[in-house]
Amino acid sequence: MKKQIESAENSAHSNKLLQRKIAVITGATRGIGLEIAKTFGLNGADIIGISRNQNRYDSSRAFFDEHEIIFSYFQGDVTDPDRLREIALEIKRIYQRVNILVNNAGSASIRSGIKTMTVGEWKQVIDINLNSMFYVTSCMLPLLLNKPTYESASVINISSIAARIGTRKVAYTAAKAGVLGFTKGLAGSLAEDNIRVNAILPGAVSTDLTSGWSKSQRMDIEGKIPLGSIAEAAEIADAALFLALPLSRYITGQSLDVNGGWIMP
């Protein structure tokens, strides 16, 4: 099944729905994070991107310059709380507040199965995919709270379909399932502050990380998806946009599955 996916700049993103909003996005220079940054930016948000790789930012900045999107880049590792505190202080100096936080950075690159995984590898996977969300959120929380009480803020945590179906990457599966628990606990804790917290669970997504899949691999996965195709990163970004907007003002503590019907919990 073929589908028409509008690129961020050609979709219905001209209403500046996030005008005057400040959005912090981790892992903002590739894949889903980059597409979220583009979508939010085209909707009027000022983007603060955090990633480890300066080169990826350099290669993507032309889009933001072309569309006159304010993109402030900070190089940093989301597993380094000291660096994150430095970044938060700089954001406070420049912007004083944050309206939207997208905890997107993560990695499934360690492929060791449970029979061969070392303690060090386990800790590394949990740190980048789960602990990092606590590190980032705790550093950005004072900025999320620094808003009029009548205004809401939104935290969006990117989990994975792996949290629903399980994979042979046991540590990754455990971390992404942990994100759902973190999301619920955080939502309950911050509701009184008018901060909503939700998670997105993407299924298979076409990014540079999946570009190496063979034709047979793609066909096998697409055969499991009722809508018949692997998602584009823009489709995940649109889900994030919905959760960032007042349209979702009565939604918190929820996990939004964006997988084409691959799994229907």
All structural domains of the chain with their residue ranges = 15-258
172 given a catalytic annotation = yes
User: Could you give phi then psi for residue 41, rounded to 5 degrees?
Assistant: -65, -40
Q: Closest by alpha carbon to 130, among 167, 168, 158?
A: 158
- Rounded CA-CA distance 182/175 in Å is 10
pTM, two decimals, is 0.92
Residue of 57, 73, 135, 172 with catalytic role: 172
pLDDT of residue 3: 53
Per-residue pLDDT 10s for the chain (265 aa) are 445 455 555 544 557 999 999 999 999 999 999 999 999 999 999 999 999 988 888 888 999 999 999 999 999 999 999 999 999 999 999 999 999 999 999 998 877 788 999 999 999 999 999 999 999 999 999 999 998 888 999 999 999 999 999 888 999 999 999 999 999 999 999 999 999 999 999 998 888 767 777 788 888 888 888 898 888 999 999 999 999 999 999 999 999 999 999 888 7
Q: Tell me which architecture the domain covering 15-258 has in CATH.
A: 3-Layer(aba) Sandwich (3.40)
pLDDT of residue 210: 72
pLDDT of residue 47: 98
Phi-psi domain of 96 (left: phi exceeds 0; alpha: psi -120 through 50; beta: other) = left
Cβ atoms of residues 152 and 246 within 8 Å: yes
pLDDT of residue 265: 78
